[in-house]
Amino acid sequence: MAAQNKIWRQLTWTWKPASERDAGDAVVRNLLLHWFPAKVTIGSLSFRYSFWLGTISAVLFGILCITGVPLMFLYVPSVERAYQSVKDIEFVVSFGWFIRALHRLSAHLMVAVVFLHMVRVFFTGAYKNGTAANQARPVNWVIGVAMMLATFFLSFTGYLLPWDQLAYWAVTVGTNIASAAPLVGDKIRFLLLGGNQIEQNTLLRFYVLHCFFLPAFVLFLFLWHMWRVRKDGGLASVDKLSLEQKRQTLPPVKSKTYSLLGITKGRTVHVETALVNEDEHTVNSSPFLTRRILMVTLATVAVICLLALLVATPLEEAANPRVTPNPAKAPWYFLWLQELVTDTTVKLGDFTINGALIGGILVPGLLIALLAVWPWLDKSPVQAVGVWFAAQRRRQNLVFLGILVVVLALTVVGTFLRGPYWLFFWPWEAWPEMPGPF
Amino acid sequence: MKSQTEASARGDSRRGWLHKLGIGGLLAGVTGMGYAFVRALVPNVLYEAPQRFKAGTPDQFPEGATFLEDQRVFIVREQRTFHAISAACTHLGCTVKMVSLNQPKKVAIGGREVEETREFHCPCHGSKYYGDGTNFAGPAPKPLACYRVELAPEDGQLMVNLDEPVSRGFRLTV
Amino acid sequence: MNWKNRDTVTVYSFGGVVAVLVGVVFWNYAQPEWKGYQEEFRELVTRKFGPARARQAPSGIQQIWVKELNRVDRCTTCHLGGDWKGLENAPEPYRSHPKEILDKHPVAKYGCTLCHGGQGYATDTDAAHSVGNTNWGEPLLGGELGKANLISNREALIQVNCNICHRNDRETKGADYINYAKRLVDQKGCYACHTIGKRGGAVGPNLTYIGDLAPEQFDYSRMSGKPSVFGWHVAHFKDPKQAVRETVMPNFGFGSKEAQALAMLVMSWKRTNLPMAYMPGVHIPEAQRTAEEMAKDQQMLTGEGAFFVKKTCFICHDVSSFGIESATKIGPDLAMAYSDVQSRFGRTLEDFLKGPTGTMAVVLSTQIHLTEAERDEAIAKLKVAYQRKTEQDAKNKIAKK
């Protein structure tokens, strides 16, 4: 009985703790909550500071993993059967259309939300170390960038699986961009495709990447990401709070370190965090943080469900290597690249540089490299940490915003303003009617 | 003072009701999703060979047993009678192999003396059956199944129905 | 209300929203479109034939899977009356399918969409018929499409699919447009300029598999109306120069009917990978044999000496007077057996067969089992064979002389 109780308490907790001790107990004893701090600042819970974009990304990743399991049972990764099995999922599997819609929409939304999360962290200067000891936020930022790239690649590998026209030609374009890389490009393409043509090898490679390696990679990075957040003393807004307190020059708070384990076991492990007035600015993680997480989870699920009911999941004609659809568009999050490779083929006399190299490799490569090293180039003072649009970071924020606007503009052009033959069409201009057999 | 406690009591009960509704809705949502995911794994259509199939016209079958690999069934012709014996071992489903005997063998099946010219042997666990499907050695718990054979009215082909087991005495006379 | 309480309420609200949305999904699950059709069909059958027959109507998604053709057709989920008698005049989707053509093309072997077009995977009307749906390349070749293409016989477009398999027929029963177009091809001398199959000229393009050309490959800039392959072909047949400026193809003055028939014909010229057994007019190929050889086979199987083939005597023995030839000739010609046995063993044939000695003793006890009736038959036949043999020999002697 006692043993059962113990197990039970490792998995459940009370939503209504009667005391501080109860609240702390939940976090300390519980398997599911143990990675949370015992207390969290009210500012960290605010929607206006973080928009909870990281949590939403994690929830979307969770939905993708959960919906991915039944889809793995239903999908056949063979060029002869893949398309048919997706048709079956759409038409004859009970709830198949719903599960596929949830999966696809979560994937699209995850790309967007992960990107927005990155934008938020940049604008709040949250990749910078604050005042507490042993912080390494720049490392976490790099982990985040890696996760964002993994998310793109996850989305892209998932795109091929239905083996329809959309998939086939998106992969053709995507892997040809990879082949534009100098020296190793062709080898990368050969390795990605498992040959020179998009065939069974390609499908199986993308399938295994999509279902195992990439999710495992993201999961590993996610755990690391969360661990670093804890090590860094929570969100960057906490650093800002402690800085403000110092300015208020209240009677100096007794230098106190607390730790998760410290609450119950005394001061064993020191986790040094920014110092904030606990009584005034913090609440117990259980139930206030856990409840918000539940709220955000439910809201995300609700939105995805609603979208699943409203947005039809496309499935084009079966892949046909003999006919390129017109226009052949990559998934929307790559359309800024597709637009960029269209516009960046450079001619210098007789010398031509393919846009695939400039727009497809150099520009995005440079942007990613810049992103990765930026925390070390950003020399703004500590006052700019955890603050939206800090005055000390105005110039870099403006440059970042500029790049953002360009990427967004290119995406919009690629998505909405390009028609057959990649010609420019205003939204009010009708595309020429595409021919059919009859 | 009293009205205040009443109001708060009302508030409490309202909150309690809301609490139950909320938890109920939450559980309903989660259960519904869980059911949907499990239900999706129960197939609604099957890609399987039909259980009723045409095996060919009677005159295409020689005397004795003919093995149809695709359907794992022996069509046995004895002069003008036909019957179908399953080739799936009744022990654990391996395909039995027909063994023609050099000498007809007299065996007692169910008290009757019968002359056998063939036996069925299972390669997996050594079960053995007489020519009529009766098990006589190894772990097989019961005789090989027999299926209904009929003549298709439209073209006179033998029609075997694997969904309809029949007794071992069943014979179709052509 | 402070934020802490508001959080609780919000959590419950979102929980409720999720529950409602999942409810909607279940609501859709409980009443798919096809269920309505199946209920209506049951009512129709109840009205016409009574409730007992209505219970035989199928329920749930129906599927015809033709493995050889890689076809999956779920049309019969709603088109329920296909093989029912007495629903010839019922409204669609419950009408019986014309029987004559189904006898030659059984649904279990051909499915539906091979002939009719449409998306067999689909389980809702719009997707299944795929008329105007650009995400499925094979629209239902029915009246709606015929009407849109201004064909006087609205149902004629299906003939395109008939001719994918019946390409080599001179005339296909029921495909009048296609038959008409085939006559036109011969009359107008298309082969002079075009290669179609194995013969023809090279002035114009090779048309052997022109039906495979994707809609994207045609130039519609010089034609009006909805761009479509069919429309392009019709316009091109009516006035080649209008469709392709630099063409040397003459204007044959085709009217609408001729142009439409020809458009259907050329659109049917597609590659198919039909299994041999499905090809019309093609049977399992046999080695080429002369009439003589065939007659000999026939003689062996059904002639007077068939008995000796059936009982496997012919493996070792000829029966020359019956035309039975042994491949091994291990034993003597049985045509002479009647006198041979007497001279070799000093016994009558009857006596020898009852109690054989030597090789035959072994053979007749292990490999060939003769019942009494069969033995009598063998003796009778061997007598006839001997008689025949002596007659033949006599004839041959006279002929030699």
| Chain B contact probe: residue of A64, A80, A95 with most B CBs at under 10 A | A95
What pLDDT does residue C277 have? 79
| Of the partner residues A315, A316, A435, the one whose CB lies closest to the CB of residue C228 | A435
Q: Does C123 touch chain A (CB under 8 A)?
A: yes
Are both B67 and B3 inside the same structural domain? no
Rounded CA gap, C144 and C148, in Å? 6
Are both B59 and B141 inside the same structural domain? yes
Q: CB A292: neighbour CB atoms within 10 A?
A: 22
Q: What are phi and psi of A23, to 5 degrees?
A: -65, -45
Shortest Cα distance, chain A CAs vs residue C362, angstroms: 58
Are C134 and A301 inside 8 Å of each other by CB? no
Are B40 and A92 inside 8 Å of each other by CB? no
Burial class (CB in 10 A: 0-12, 13-18, 19+), C371: exposed
| Residue that terminates a domain, selected from C285, C313, C335 | C285
Q: Which residues contact C231 (CB under 8 A, 6 or more apart)?
A: A438, C149, C223, C225
Structural domain count of chain B: 2
Tell me if A71 sits within 8 A of A95, measured CB to CB. Answer: no
Is C340 part of any domain?
Answer: yes
- Residues of B within 8 A of C16 (CB-CB) are 21-22, 25-26
Are both B57 and B35 inside the same structural domain? no
Rounded CA gap, A335 and A166, in Å? 13
Are both C391 and C330 inside the same structural domain? yes
Are both C84 and C186 inside the same structural domain? no
C225: left (phi over 0), alpha (psi -120 to 50) or beta: left
Shortest Cα distance, chain B CAs vs residue C19, angstroms: 4
Q: CB C171: neighbour CB atoms within 10 A?
A: 12
Label residues B52-84 b or e (16+ Cβ within 10 Å = b): ebebeebeebeeebbeeeebebbbbbeeeebbb
The pLDDT-based confidence of C1 (bands split at 50, 70, 90) is low
pLDDT exceeds 50 at position C342 = yes
Are B40 and A67 inside 8 Å of each other by CB? no
Omega cis (within 30) before A321: no
The pLDDT-based confidence of C373 (bands split at 50, 70, 90) is confident
Please enumerate residues of B whose Cβ is less than 8 A from a Cβ of A: 26, 29, 36-37, 39-45
| Angle of CA points C248, C250, C256, to nearest 5° | 130
Q: What are phi and psi of B152, to 5 degrees?
A: -70, 125
| Chain C contact probe: residue of B23, B27, B45 with most C CBs at under 10 A | B45
- Residues of A within 8 A of B45 (CB-CB) are 88, 92
Are A434 and C134 inside 8 Å of each other by CB? yes
Higher pLDDT, A262 or C96: C96
Is C214 part of any domain?
Answer: yes
What pLDDT does residue B10 have? 64
| Chain C contact probe: residue of A42, A67, A91, A282 with most C CBs at under 10 A | A91
DSSP string, A322-354: T---SS----GGGHHHHHHHHH--EEETTEEE-
| Chain A contact probe: residue of B12, B15, B30, B41 with most A CBs at under 10 A | B41
Is C151 part of any domain?
Answer: no
Are A95 and B40 inside 8 Å of each other by CB? yes
Give the max Cα distance, chain C.
Answer: 133
Query: CATH number of the domain that B57 lies in?
Result: 2.102.10.10
The torsion of the CA quartet C120, C126, C129, C130, rounded to 10 degrees, works out to -90
pLDDT one-digit tens code per residue, C327-339: 888 888 888 888 8
Structural domain count of chain C: 4
> Helix, strand, or coil here: A275?
coil
Are both B95 and B166 inside the same structural domain? yes
Shortest Cα distance, chain A CAs vs residue B40, angstroms: 5
Rounded CA gap, C133 and C135, in Å? 6
To the nearest 10 degrees (0 to 180), the angle between helices A96-123 and A137-160 is 150
Are C220 and A301 inside 8 Å of each other by CB? no
What pLDDT does residue A425 have? 92
Are A92 and B39 inside 8 Å of each other by CB? no
Is C150 part of any domain?
Answer: no
**What mean pLDDT comes out for the span C179-206?**
91
pLDDT one-digit tens code per residue, B139-168: 999 999 999 999 987 778 899 999 899 998
- The set of chains that have 3 or more CB pairs under 8 A with A is B, C
Rounded CA gap, C11 and C108, in Å? 54
Closest CA to C22 of B40, A86, B26: B26
The DSSP code for C91 is P
Closest CA to C267 of C141, C113, C154, C132: C141
Are C218 and A299 inside 8 Å of each other by CB? no
Are both C161 and C68 inside the same structural domain? no
Are both B102 and B37 inside the same structural domain? no
Closest CA to A364 of A321, A330, A390, A335: A335
Sorted by where each starts, the structural domains of chain A and their CATH numbers stand as 16-422 (1.20.810.10)
Shortest Cα distance, chain A CAs vs residue C59, angstroms: 14
Q: Which residues contact C325 (CB under 8 A, 6 or more apart)?
A: C296, C300, C314, C318
Q: Does C24 touch chain A (CB under 8 A)?
A: yes
Residues of chain A with pLDDT under 70: 1-3, 248-275
DSSP string, A351-376: EEE-HHHIIIIIHHHHHHHHHHHHHH
Omega cis (within 30) before A287: yes
- The set of chains that have 3 or more CB pairs under 8 A with C is A, B
Note the residue count of chain B.
Answer: 174
Burial class (CB in 10 A: 0-12, 13-18, 19+), C19: buried
Rounded CA gap, B51 and B53, in Å? 6
Shortest Cα distance, chain C CAs vs residue A301, angstroms: 7
Shortest Cα distance, chain A CAs vs residue C261, angstroms: 14
Are both C44 and C120 inside the same structural domain? yes
Omega cis (within 30) before A331: no
Which residues are bridge partners to C199 per DSSP?
C196
Alpha helices, DSSP H, located in A252-324: 262-265, 278-281, 290-310
- Residues of C within 8 A of B22 (CB-CB) are 8, 11-13, 15-16
Q: Which two tokens stand for residue C315?
A: 């493996």
Are both C191 and C224 inside the same structural domain? yes
Is C149 part of any domain?
Answer: no
- The set of chains that have 3 or more CB pairs under 8 A with B is A, C
Are both B16 and B97 inside the same structural domain? no
- Residues of B within 8 A of A92 (CB-CB) are 44-45
- Residues of B within 8 A of A88 (CB-CB) are 45
What pLDDT does residue C275 have? 85
To the nearest 10 degrees (0 to 180), the angle between helices A200-208 and A185-193 is 90
Are both C170 and C67 inside the same structural domain? no
Are both B57 and B29 inside the same structural domain? no
Are both B143 and B57 inside the same structural domain? yes
pLDDT exceeds 90 at position C26 = yes
Are both B90 and B150 inside the same structural domain? yes
What pLDDT does residue A256 have? 47
Are A305 and C136 inside 8 Å of each other by CB? no
Are A96 and B40 inside 8 Å of each other by CB? yes
Angstrom distances, CA of residue A383 to CA of A141, A276, A398, B39: 19, 16, 18, 55
Higher pLDDT, A24 or B7: A24
Angstrom distances, CA of residue A325 to CA of C130, C140, C166: 18, 22, 31
**What mean pLDDT comes out for the span C158-182?**
92
Q: Does C11 touch chain B (CB under 8 A)?
A: yes
Q: Which two tokens stand for residue A228?
A: 């670093």
Say whether the ipTM exceeds 0.90: no
| Of the partner residues A88, A92, A94, the one whose CB lies closest to the CB of residue B39 | A94
What pLDDT does residue A412 have? 94
Is C146 part of any domain?
Answer: no
Are B26 and A88 inside 8 Å of each other by CB? no
Percentage of chain C with pLDDT > 90? Answer: 38
Are A302 and C17 inside 8 Å of each other by CB? yes
- Residues of B within 8 A of A69 (CB-CB) are 37
Domain carrying residue C130: 34-140
Shortest Cα distance, chain C CAs vs residue B27, angstroms: 8
Burial class (CB in 10 A: 0-12, 13-18, 19+), A47: exposed
| Residue that terminates a domain, selected from C285, C313, C346 | C285
Higher pLDDT, C32 or C355: C32
What pLDDT does residue A120 have? 96
What pLDDT does residue C18 have? 92
Q: Looking at chain A from residue 71 to 110, which residues have their Cβ under 8 Å from any Cβ of chain C?
A: 80, 84, 87-88, 90-92, 94-95, 98
Are both B10 and B75 inside the same structural domain? no
Rounded CA gap, C292 and A419, in Å? 70
Q: Does C220 touch chain A (CB under 8 A)?
A: yes
Domain carrying residue B135: 52-173
pLDDT exceeds 80 at position C280 = no
Is C147 part of any domain?
Answer: no
| Residue that terminates a domain, selected from C87, C108, C140 | C140
Rounded CA gap, C309 and C67, in Å? 39
Shortest Cα distance, chain C CAs vs residue A436, angstroms: 5
Closest CA to C316 of C338, C340, C339, C332: C332
Q: What are phi and psi of B88, to 5 degrees?
A: -85, 120
Chain B: residue whose CA lies nearest to A75: B41
Rounded CA gap, A215 and A105, in Å? 17
Are both B88 and B161 inside the same structural domain? yes
Tell me if B122 sits within 8 A of B94, measured CB to CB. Answer: yes
**What mean pLDDT comes out for the span C212-236?**
90
Sign of the alpha-carbon torsion through C41, C42, C47, C52: positive
The pLDDT-based confidence of B4 (bands split at 50, 70, 90) is low
- Residues of B within 8 A of C20 (CB-CB) are 25
Are both B71 and B131 inside the same structural domain? yes
Shortest Cα distance, chain A CAs vs residue C89, angstroms: 29
Percentage of chain C with pLDDT > 70? Answer: 97
Are A298 and C15 inside 8 Å of each other by CB? yes
pTM: 0.84
